[in-house]
Amino acid sequence: GREVSWVYAMNTLGGAAGAFGTGFFLMPALGLSRTLWLAAAFSFVAAAMLAPLWRHSPERAVPSEEKNARRKMKSVSSSVTPESKTAVRLVWAVVAVSGFTSLAYEVYWTRLLTFFFKDSIYDLTIVLTAFLTGLVIGSLACGWLMRNGLNFRFALGLVQALIGLSAFTGLFLVQKFPYWINDLQTNTALVRQYGENYWAAANAIRFGCAFLLMLVPTTLFGAAFPLAGQLCAENAALPSR
């Protein structure tokens, strides 16, 4: 449960840093091709970081223990109740629906916010960074709550309902955006308002709007995956009576 939330959070945190760094620094400095080569190089570096684990793999050191563990897992899985299997499949379905809605929301929010902004690479970077940051916060918060006791079934259902409610509330919030981001429409207005810091101010306003619209629902999305993983683990471990 908590381990899943930390792995998910660290992976998403890397994604948020990658989105922010690529859009604001790497692509403007290196261009498209060199940025792609650099990303590929990082993938090879990640593979090389695992080399010590390959050389000192527990599977090679204690093959008999691994075999015994697999036998135990098979015996447990064969004794799982039909109700538990149904519950696991239901969680899979919920995760699939949640994944569908999360990407649908991301496409919607990207199109909506870039409509108010200027539809540049910076705007796409801001939206993606804000989206992934919310996932990180939600996953870490969920991992912390798991330590204090949590009804995972109720929590997962509540999270899904709150996602829909927060996304719907965002429709009313968007109506205020034209008044809040009026200064973004022209560089002349930005320079007049913020002087030499107009570029940083414009991006700060964009980040503020993106976080205001997406932070609550994306935080809830971030909590959904660890909860679903914990529910699957619990039901898979329930033996038949």
Q: What was the pLDDT predicted at 240?
A: 42
Q: For residue 111, is it left (φ>0), alpha (ψ between -120 and 50) or beta?
A: alpha
Q: What was the pLDDT predicted at 232?
A: 77
Residue 204 has pLDDT above 80, yes or no: yes
Residue 230 has pLDDT above 50, yes or no: yes
Residue 209 has pLDDT above 80, yes or no: yes
Using one digit for the tens of pLDDT, what is the confidence trace for 113-170? 877 777 677 888 888 999 999 999 999 888 888 777 667 778 888 898 999 898 888 8
Bridge partners of residue 80, in order along the sequence: 239
Burial of 19 (0-12, 13-18, 19+ CB in 10 A): buried
- In percent, how much of the chain has pLDDT > 90? 10
Average pLDDT, the chain: 78
Residue 228 has pLDDT above 50, yes or no: yes
Using one digit for the tens of pLDDT, what is the confidence trace for 11-31? 788 888 888 888 888 888 998
Asked if 226 and 5 count as a contact pair (C-beta separation under 8 A), the reply is yes
Residue 238 has pLDDT above 50, yes or no: no
Q: What was the pLDDT predicted at 81?
A: 59
**Chain length of the chain:** 241
Buried b (16+ CB within 10 A) or exposed e, 153-177: eebbeebbeebeebbeebeeebeeb
Q: What was the pLDDT predicted at 76?
A: 45
More confident call, 84 vs 158? 158
Tokens of 42: 């990082």
Least confident interval from 162-166, 206-210, 234-238: 234-238
Cα 175 to Cα 194: distance, rounded to the nearest angstrom: 25
Using one digit for the tens of pLDDT, what is the confidence trace for 36-68? 888 888 888 877 877 776 665 555 544 555 555
- Residue range 178-188: mean pLDDT, rounded: 70
Q: What was the pLDDT predicted at 90?
A: 82
- In percent, how much of the chain has pLDDT > 70? 77
- Residue range 1-17: mean pLDDT, rounded: 77
